[in-house]
């Protein structure tokens, strides 16, 4: 099933909240046909340039838990999580405990969400974000391999390289800041369970957000 990405009107809340016109997608439950990411299987390998000119590979972090966060700073759903300090808080909480947090940009050059390395570093500083690295995937090869469809789309990888979570950041598919207070954060829950030596109870969820602007 292909991702349906179109200009649409989506209700951004429950209980009769007003609708807002956005370029958004509630991702289908089936990922891109070519996606290689599977729960319990090795996460797709990759090597990308970061915002400081370094080359970063997933293999560099063998033995460490890794979080992948697909982002687009212009997306209202991304702005919700950064504007409410939710994403930064998660980054700081878990990188302090040794988790590697990689923020990926798969927007093609000239499309919404694409930024230069300098602009990416400026955004990180201005928002008080704390990823381990910001990585660029302008051809979209890594995003497609993972089946990343929207921003934010989240993945958690165990130290042995297996994928243990993929999907939305939480269970509130809205752009309302107020919903952060009552949301169940699937990424935080997965990392907490892993830290406690427990199996991840929710391994997949339906991602929500703005469609990734891949190159054609």
**Per-residue pLDDT, 78:** 98
Give residue 80's domain range.
6-211
CA distance 121 to 133: 10
**Residue 216 covered by a domain:** no
C-alpha to C-alpha distances, 183 to 36, 78, 169, 171, 176, nearest whole angstrom: 29, 15, 9, 6, 11
pLDDT at 1: 34
Does residue 161 fall inside a structural domain?
yes
Q: What is the percentage of the chain residues whose pLDDT exceeds 90? A: 83
d(C-alpha 147, C-alpha 117), whole Å? 24
- Residue pLDDT, tens place only, 122-168: 999 999 999 999 999 999 999 999 999 999 999 999 999 999 999 99
Does residue 104 lie in a domain region? yes
Helical residues (DSSP H) of 28-137, grouped into ranges: 76-83, 86-95, 117-127
Tokens 């808080």 belong to which residue?
A: 89
Of residues 21 and 129, more confidence is placed in: 129
Is 1 within a domain?
A: no
pTM: 0.87
Is residue 136 within 8 A of residue 51, CB to CB? The reply is yes
Q: 205: helix, coil or strand? A: coil
If you write DSSP's letter for every residue of 174-198 in order, what string do you get? S--GGGGGT--BHHHHHHHHHHTTP
Kindly give the residue spans of alpha helices, DSSP state H, lying in the chain.
Answer: 76-83, 86-95, 117-127, 141-146, 186-195
Give the mean pLDDT of the chain.
Answer: 88
Number of domains observed in the structure of the chain: 1
Q: Residue 19: pLDDT above 70?
A: no
Q: Mean pLDDT, to the nearest integer, of 168-192?
A: 97
Give the domain CATH number at 17: 3.40.30.10
């Amino acid at each position: 099933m292909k991702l349906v990405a179109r200009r649409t009107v989506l209700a951004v809340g429950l209980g009769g909240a007003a609708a807002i016109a956005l370029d958004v997608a509630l991702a289908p439950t089936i990922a891109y046909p070519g996606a290689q990411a599977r729960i319990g299987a090795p996460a797709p390998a990759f090597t990308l340039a970061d915002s400081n000119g370094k080359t970063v590979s997933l293999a560099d972090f063998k033995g460490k838990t890794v979080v992948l966060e697909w982002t687009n700073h212009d997306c209202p759903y991304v702005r919700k999580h950064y504007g409410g300090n939710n994403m930064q808080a998660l980054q700081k909480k878990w990188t302090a405990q040794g988790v590697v947090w990689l923020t990926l940009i798969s927007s093609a050059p000239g499309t919404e969400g694409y930024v230069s390395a300098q602009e990416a570093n400026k955004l990180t500083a201005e928002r008080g974000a704390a990823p381990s690295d910001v990585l660029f995937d302008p051809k979209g090869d890594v995003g497609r391999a993972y089946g990343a469809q929207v921003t934010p789309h989240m993945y958690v990888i165990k130290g042995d390289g297996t994928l243990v979570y993929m999907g939305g950041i939480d269970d509130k598919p809205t752009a309302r800041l107020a919903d952060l207070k009552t949301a169940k954060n699937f990424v935080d829950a997965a990392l907490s369970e892993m830290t406690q030596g427990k199996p991840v109870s929710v391994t997949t969820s339906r991602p929500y957000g703005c469609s990734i602007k891949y190159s054609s």
